[in-house]
Amino acid sequence: MSLHLSRRNLLAASALLPLGFHLPAMAAPVNGPYRIGAFTVTPLRDGLFPLEPSMIPAAESQAGQTLLEGAGLPAKGPSPEPVNAFLIRRGERHWLLDAGCGTVLGPGFDRVTAALAAEGVRPEQIETIWLSHLHADHAGGLLTPDRLARFANAELVLQEREVAYWSDAAARASAPVPLSPMFETAQAVLAAYPDRIRHVSGEAELAPGIHALPLPGHTPGHMGVLIADGSNRLLIWGDIVHSRILQMPHPDWTVIWDTDPAEAIITRRRILDRAAVDGLRVTGMHLATSGRIERADTGYTLI
């Protein structure tokens, strides 16, 4: 697949898995919920995206083929990668971290609302939605098919740099081709919640026990969320990795959607090192499980 990934390419790719693509164990439904002290964190599977090696260009190599084959996948892919959002609860409070694709990427997605219903939660009960960033597979689920706000009472919270970037006409005009479709969704989301957007900057407290952790590079305002209650901690790291198979052993392998690939590499290595040293439990929007990070040769592994 060309690096010039159009919306049509995305829709075509997203249709592959529902047609019966064999899913290895790593793509099985996310385990959970996770208990972090008084917090309950429930992964919500929005769908599976068939990641082509061309979307991680360095994976179009013998090393990439070997990793894919070792995972029981075709040497030339695709690898089915989870698209997750997370419901976070404490007492009677309900928060959401990201919202999945909605209908933006076509069939096979838009399952977050049903996953919430299975947890006994209605969209209007969500008081705040923290967004790791404004890419379509994280923010598209904030919109109904007619591009209205899906969450009637929720405030959106994003890093200030994230809102500034996706609102910038010059940034859109100069963006690499793979990022062009993302601007359309990001701007539609900002337009649908005009009076319900709050900016934070840096390592801000989002709620008692929950902090934003800036992780720039994938996008300028990309962030993770660290949930802590006593000694119990969970880092939900957004898009630090898009493929556990390919990027954990090769943290210098970037995706075509990175706004600043060099910064994304620095950030990924920094947070993987921190997780390994601090013993942090981690999960993410494209991980099928949670675990702890250990160094392995020149890369890392999720235990």
Residue 200 CA: distances (Å) to CA of 58, 130, 137, 221: 34, 10, 21, 10
Report the greatest alpha carbon distance in the chain: 51
The pLDDT value given to residue 30:
55
Residue 25 CA: distances (Å) to CA of 28, 74, 79, 102, 236: 5, 15, 12, 25, 21
| pLDDT of residue 243 exceeding 50 | yes
The encoded tokens of residue 82 equal 């989870």
> Within the chain, where are the H helices?
7-14, 62-70, 112-118, 136-139, 160-166, 169-174, 180-192, 244-247, 261-278
The encoded tokens of residue 292 equal 């702890």
pLDDT, mean of residues 35-47: 97
Q: Please give the mean pLDDT across all residues of the chain.
A: 90
Please name the residues in contact with 25: beta carbons below 8 A apart, sequence gap of 6 or more: none
Quote the CA–CA distance of 67 and 74 in Å, as a whole number.
Answer: 10
pTM: 0.91
Quote the CA–CA distance of 77 and 20 in Å, as a whole number.
Answer: 15
What secondary structure letter does DSSP report for 149? B
For 47-97, what is each residue's pLDDT tens digit? Answer: 999 999 999 999 999 999 999 999 999 999 999 999 999 999 999 999 999
For residue 282, list its beta bridge partners.
Answer: 235, 291
Categorize the per-residue pLDDT at 103 as very low, low, confident or very high, splitting at 50, 70 and 90: very high
Please name the residues in contact with 169: beta carbons below 8 A apart, sequence gap of 6 or more: none
The pLDDT value given to residue 135:
97
Residue 175 three-state SS = coil
The pLDDT value given to residue 4:
35
Residue by residue, DSSP assigns 233-280 as EEEE-TTS-S-HHHHTT-TTPPPTT-SSHHHHHHHHHHHHHHHHHHT-
Quote the CA–CA distance of 81 and 143 in Å, as a whole number.
Answer: 22
Q: Which amino acid is at 118?
A: A
**Percent of all residues in the chain with a pLDDT value above 70, rounded to a whole number:** 90
